[in-house]
Amino acid sequence: MNRLFAAFAVGAALAGPLSAQELEIDELTFGFIKLTDMAPLAIAYERGYFEDEGLFVTLEAQANWRVLLDGVIDGTLDGAHMLAGQPLAATIGFGTEAHIVTPFSMDLNGNGITVSNDVWDRMRPHIPSNEDGTPVHPISAEALVPVVEEFRDEGRPFNMGMVFPVSTHNYELRYWLAAGGLHPGFYSPDDITGQIDADVFLSVTPPPQMPSTLEAGTIYGYCVGEPWNQQAVQRGIGVAVITDYEIWPNNPEKVFGLTAEFVEENPNTTRAIVRALIRAAMWLDENDNANRMEAVEILSWPEYVGADAEVIAASMTGTFEYEPGDIREVPDFNVFFRYNATYPFYSDAVWYLTQMRRWGQIAEPQSDEWYHEVAASVYRPDIYLEAARSLVEDGLANEADFPWDTDGFRDPVDTLIDGIAYDGRTPNAYIDSFPIGLTGGELVIDGEVEG
Amino acid sequence: MTTVDPDFDAAREERRARLFTRINKADNWFRVLGLAWITPILKAAAGDNPRAQMKDVWRLLGVPLLAIALFLALWGALAPQVQTSLGAIPGPVQVWEQVENLHAEHERQMDRRDDFLARQDARNAERIANGDEPRYRDYTGAPTFYQQIWTSIKTVFFGFLLATVVAVPLGIMAGLSATANSALNPIIQIFKPVSPLAWLPIVSIVVSAVYTNDDGLFAKSFLVSAITVTLCSLWPTLINTALGVASIDRDLVNVSKVLKMNTWTKITKLVLPSALPLIFTGLRLSLGVGWMVLIAAEMLAQNPGLGKFVWDEFQNGSSQSLAKIMVAVFTIGIIGFLLDRLMFAIQSLFTFTNNR
């Protein structure tokens, strides 16, 4: 507690320099979904970082991603914890159209794919084992192929859940399934259920309801953020087969989204919000994740994530429990600041856009310039760097922690689970390199792929 | 006791008689408030046939208490036998622990609010010292259980009042005029069975489109919940009012014709007083329905009341969630009971029955 008061005193004293630039609005409402990675928002509120900037923030849990997006678009919420795909999809007009921008990436990694106990038992014989009997990780979706066929023979469609049509979870689940040879279904302008030509049928369930939907047997597996994978494992209703760290190490996950209008009308407020969030992210990764347990305590309060502290701690503190008893070291399961996690890289946006094209949410082929333009209109590293610079000048952050000179594209990577290399500068080449998915000029018309 | 009795004391007997009269009068009020068991105790204390009074006390107080104790024992015994993925179903002890927990959370939140206000005062003192205007902002923490209960009560009353304002005039019209009745009847019959969950998306969209003033008196979620309550709870009042008005004694209607009353006088002096018992029955039913509908409406519209509390606890999925949801269930039940008693008491004030 004393540390907390000291932090407030220091913060209050340092709030002086900022009052020179007046905030346009200081009472804000932010939305979030009950997931571990809303932590920067909770920490920025509880540790007084918002208050230091002169912002009075109400954090409201939203029922699902649809309600959250609508809330930001119609102005009920000033900003929200969003899926990285939501600002992009809204700006290109997939779903409700609105120009949403993001100046801050909230975290990397943090998702997992869990299957029901029955499906795991059927998958297990097809997965190679280590000497001690535990399955070899990462588990490829190839082990799921015979199970899907068994289900098809029994006349049951293999249903899996994800949280939103433009969620990272949807794309990661599809990536994993396609890497193992299973077709997750196409979207078309007439049919947005995303199940055209599918071997595995994906549908939407809000994250906190995933474990109960799995238990009820409506879905046989899901891809969701924490703590909902660990919740299923600890309650004995499912087994986590893979984390998204193993699908794509250090992949972008959530962003903080605001409407373009808000950012234009309130530049000082936006910068203040980003400052507070950067400070929160730094605290979460400080000293090699030393503060994580304190963060877990805060997140377990009913007004934030509300799950039991043990369940949240299972993934926030450097380990991940795949099966009851099979706990492995995954130190970077949640990354909030390290590896430039908070910088909104254009290449991250382009990856999501390529996946949208791959599965037909972007119905027509687009030029490389189009991808780069959309990324530049949605991701705002300029605001991020302004906020970071002002933090460095106030002595609250280190110069070395921020990528001042980047052109917005991360280095090309080839660490994804199927080994296909990704370079954000050449999106069409990347799209064309997939065995499963729309390539080149292919279109989905009347349920058939043409071109 | 006769006047031949040497121990007869006229003054004392008179005092006793007055006491019994007062107790009997008070009994009417105790009955209304659901405290009927107090009367036999008072009578026994005043010396009126104690053994017969004890029988009454047993029936009015003892038996209900025994039934409740039996229910708690049965619950406590059976609950731990059902294991769910969130742990065993909580028994009475766990639910009581959560009541204490919720109170403790309320205290914690109030402490944090006091800290915030203290910090705000300190900041404002600095601002005044620097010659700036002080700035006052509300505490932005999450609402506590008690605040959520209060929000639910406000919402249900708002919806209920709206429903009354719409239903009573329509009901009077339908009761007085057979033509109006035929006109309204099909609409009533079709919309009466519609569930609040079906109304909610439509109400949501309409409110979002029409009520665009963000800084207005009401939050959108409050309006959505209240209007959904109105749409579902106006039917009992409407039907009962129409029935009450239509079944006024023919003689009274003839009196109004003889006295050549105008419509307004007829309604206020004749129709309303005669129809009041049925109108109040309708109001009581409406409030009951409204309270039930409110919980569902709040869950979906995310109005920060008891419905949202239950929904959030379900989403949290912590080991305390089931017990907290049960606390909410009991709270909803107890408040529903109190609301019903309130309406019954108001009804007793305003209506005349053969017993009074």
Using the beta-carbon criterion (under 8 Å), do A303 and B315 form an inter-chain contact? no
Q: Looking at the DSSP assignment, which residues form a beta bridge with residue A329?
A: A319
Q: What are phi and psi of B192, to 5 degrees?
A: -60, -45
Higher-scoring residue by pLDDT: A38, B41: A38
* Domain identity same for A229 and A309: no
pLDDT of residue A198: 92
In this structure, the answer to whether residues A96 and A194 fall within a common structural domain is no
Chain A residues close to B141, C-beta within 8 Å:
303
Which residue from A102, A99, A111, A55 is spatially nearest to A80, judged by alpha carbons?
Answer: A102
Regarding the domain delimited by B145-350, which CATH topology (the fold level of the hierarchy) does it fall under? Answer: MetI-like fold (1.10.3720)
Confidence class for position B284, pLDDT limits 50, 70, 90: very high
Q: If you measure CA to CA, which chain B residue comes closest to A206?
A: B315
Chain B contact probe: residue of A230, A231, A312 with most B CBs at under 10 A: A231
Same domain? A237 vs A261 = no
**How high is the pLDDT of residue A18?**
43
Does residue A330 sit within a domain? yes
pTM: 0.83
Q: How far is CA B71 from the centre of its chain?
A: 24
In a domain, A49, yes or no: yes
- Report the C-alpha gap between A383 and A389 in whole angstroms: 10
Q: Which phi and psi angles does B84 have, rounded to 5°?
A: -115, 180
Determine the distance in angstroms separating the CA of B287 from the nearest CA of chain A, rounded to an integer. Answer: 27
Residue A242 is predicted with a pLDDT of 94
Looking only at the bridges linking them, the beta strands covering A79-83 and A27-32 are parallel
Mean per-residue pLDDT for B242-268? 88
pLDDT at site A2: 53
Substitution target in A26, A50, A76 with the highest count of B β-carbons within 10 Å is A76
Q: Which among A67, A75, A208 has the least Cβ separation from residue B214?
A: A75
Q: Are residues A177 and A284 in the same domain?
A: no
pLDDT computed for residue A352 by the predictor: 94
Give me the residue from A56, A236, A306 closest to B315, CB to CB: A306
Q: Tell if the CB–CB gap between B119 and A306 is shorter than 8 Å.
A: no
Contact A237 B300 (CB under 8 A): no
Chain A to chain B Cβ contacts (< 8 Å): 69
Residues of A in contact with B86 (CB under 8 A): 235
Residue A305 forms part of a structural domain: yes
Q: Which of A51, A59, A61 sits opposite B312 (nearest CB)?
A: A61
Closest by Cβ to A208, choosing from B138, B300, B315: B315
CATH of the domain at A146: 3.40.190.10
The Cα A244–Cα A252 span in angstroms is: 10
- Measured CA to CA, the distance from residue A167 to residue A278 in angstroms comes to 23
- What lies within 8 Å, CB to CB, of A195 at 6+ separation is A185, A201, A202
Q: CA A157 to CA A155: how far, in whole Å?
A: 7
How large is the average pLDDT for residues B163-188?
92
User: Three-state SS string across chain B, please?
Assistant: CCCCCCCCCHHHHHHHHHHHHHHHHHHHHHHHCCCCCHHHHHHHHHCCCHHHHHHHHHHHHHHHHHHHHHHHHHHHHHHHHCEECCEECCCHHHHHHHHHHHHHHHHHHHHHHHHHHHHHHHHHHHHHHCCCCCCCCCCCCCCCHHHHHHHHHHHHHHHHHHHHHHHHHHHHHHHHCHHHHHHHHHHHHHHCCCCHHHHHHHHHHHHHHHCCCCCCCCCHHHHHHHHHHHHHHHHHHHHHHHHHHHCCCHHHHHHHHHCCCCHHHHHHHHHHHHHHHHHHHHHHHHHHHHHHHHHHHHHHHCCCCHHHHHHHHHHHCCCCHHHHHHHHHHHHHHHHHHHHHHHHHHHHHHCCCCCC
> Is it the case that residue B16 has pLDDT exceeding 70?
yes
Which has the closest alpha carbon to A85: A277, A355, A332?
Answer: A355
pLDDT-derived band at B213 (thresholds 50, 70, 90) equals: low
In A71-219 the beta strands, taken as DSSP E runs, fall at: 79-83, 100-105, 108-109, 111-116, 158-162, 200-204
Find the closest chain B residue to A302 by CA distance: B316
A427 domain residue, yes or no = no
Q: What amino acid is encoded at A19 in this protein?
A: S
Are the beta carbons of B308 and B219 closer than 8 angstroms?
Answer: no
A264 & A382 share domain: yes
Q: Where are the domains of chain B?
A: 11-78, 145-350
Mean pLDDT of B54-69: 88
- End-to-end CA distance of chain A: give it in Å, rounded: 64
Tokens 């909610």 -> residue: B200
Nearest-by-Cβ selection for B137 from A27, A63, A311: A27
A176 located within any domain = yes
pLDDT score, position B318: 84
C-alpha separations of A54 from A27, A75, A417 in Å: 9, 21, 44
Cβ–Cβ below 8 Å for A76 and B220: yes
> What's the gap between Cα B80 and its chain centre?
32
Supply the angle between the helices B10-32 and B38-46 in degrees, to the nearest 10. 170
User: Do A135 and A239 have their domain in common?
Assistant: yes
Domain assignment present for residue A45? The answer is yes
Residue of B nearest to A60 (CA): B142
Our count of domains for chain A comes to: 2
A57/A146 same-domain check: no
Q: Which two tokens stand for residue B243?
A: 């029935």
Residues A265 and A391 in one domain: yes
Domain that holds residue A89: 2-108+252-401
Residues A280 and A396 in one domain: yes
Give the separation between CA A90 and CA A82, rounded to whole angstroms. Answer: 12
Give residue B355's pLDDT. 47
Q: Is the pLDDT reported for residue B20 higher than 80? A: yes
- Total residue length of chain B: 356
What residue of B is the nearest CA neighbor of A4? B115
Residue A96, classed as helix, strand or coil, is: coil
Report B:65-104 residues touching A (Cβ under 8 A). 85-86
A34 and B316: CB-CB below 8 Å?
yes
Beta bridge partners of A101: A258
Closest CA to B72 of B93, B45, B49, B41: B93
State residue B1's pLDDT score.
53
B291-336 confidence digits (pLDDT tens) = 999 999 998 888 899 999 998 888 888 888 899 999 999 999 999 9
Nearest CA in chain B to A70: B208
Instruction: Report yes or no for ipTM above 0.90.
Output: no
Contact B105 A302 (CB under 8 A): yes
Paired residues of A100 in beta bridges: A259
Partner residue opposite A12 with nearest CB, options B123, B302, B312 = B123
Residues A158, A199 contacting (CB under 8 angstroms): yes
The stretches in chain A having pLDDT less than 70 are 1-21
Residues A76 and A126 in one domain: no
Model pLDDT, residue B356: 39
Do A297 and A353 fall within a single domain?
yes
B275 has a pLDDT exceeding 60:
yes
What is the number of residues in chain A? 451
Beta strand A221-225 with A254-259: parallel, antiparallel or unpaired?
Answer: unpaired
Decide if pLDDT at B5 tops 80: no
